[in-house]
């Protein structure tokens, strides 16, 4: 049986989740992966929920669970692998003659072992003078952080 687009979509998302899980040694409750493609740029970043704390990749040691390797080299490698995965996903969109989303927000629940992805096709930042993909990522991070805040 030949693979359909959805098989590739899920497989490449699983690969992204896998590398993000590896970064925190599988010790996480939720993973939030942000992917953006507005020609010609690819953007990938991730943050995590550990208990009631929502933490960016460089701050996961603030979870109090254990000490993770959050060196700049390791963070850059995580982002590089994520962008490569996003480019592979874009290639599949092209192969299947589909429009590539401008934004994909993926949430992986480690306890449920389920992945949820939300796609948007609207321009988010390339049509503005004051927004960059990192700004959109930071807004999503703050939204989720406020949702889980126990303060």
* Enclosing domain of residue 89: 5-148
pTM of the model: 0.94
Contact 91, 83 (CB under 8 A): no
* CATH number of 49's domain: 3.30.500.20
The sign one gets for the Cα dihedral 3, 7, 23, 131 is positive
Distance CA 83, CA 73 (A): 15
- Average pLDDT value for residue range 17-35: 96
- Span 67-114, pLDDT tens digits: 999 999 999 999 999 999 999 999 999 999 999 999 999 999 998 999
- Span 61-78, pLDDT tens digits: 999 989 999 999 999 999
Contact 118, 105 (CB under 8 A): yes
How many structural domains are present in the chain?
1
């Amino acid at each position: 049986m030949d693979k359909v687009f959805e098989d590739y979509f899920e497989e490449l998302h699983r690969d992204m989740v896998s590398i993000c899980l590896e970064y925190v040694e599988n010790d996480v409750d939720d993973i939030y992966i942000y992917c953006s493609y507005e020609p010609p740029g690819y953007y990938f970043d991730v943050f995590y929920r550990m208990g009631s704390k929502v933490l960016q990749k460089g701050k996961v040691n603030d979870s109090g669970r254990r000490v993770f390797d959050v060196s700049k080299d390791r963070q850059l490698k995580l982002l590089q692998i994520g962008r490569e995965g996003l480019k592979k996903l874009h290639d599949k969109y092209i192969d299947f003659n589909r429009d590539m989303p401008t934004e994909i927000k993926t949430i992986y629940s480690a306890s449920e072992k389920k992945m949820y992805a939300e796609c948007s096709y609207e321009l988010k930042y390339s049509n503005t003078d004051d927004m960059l993909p990192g700004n959109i990522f930071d807004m999503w991070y703050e939204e989720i952080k406020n949702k889980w805040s126990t303060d």
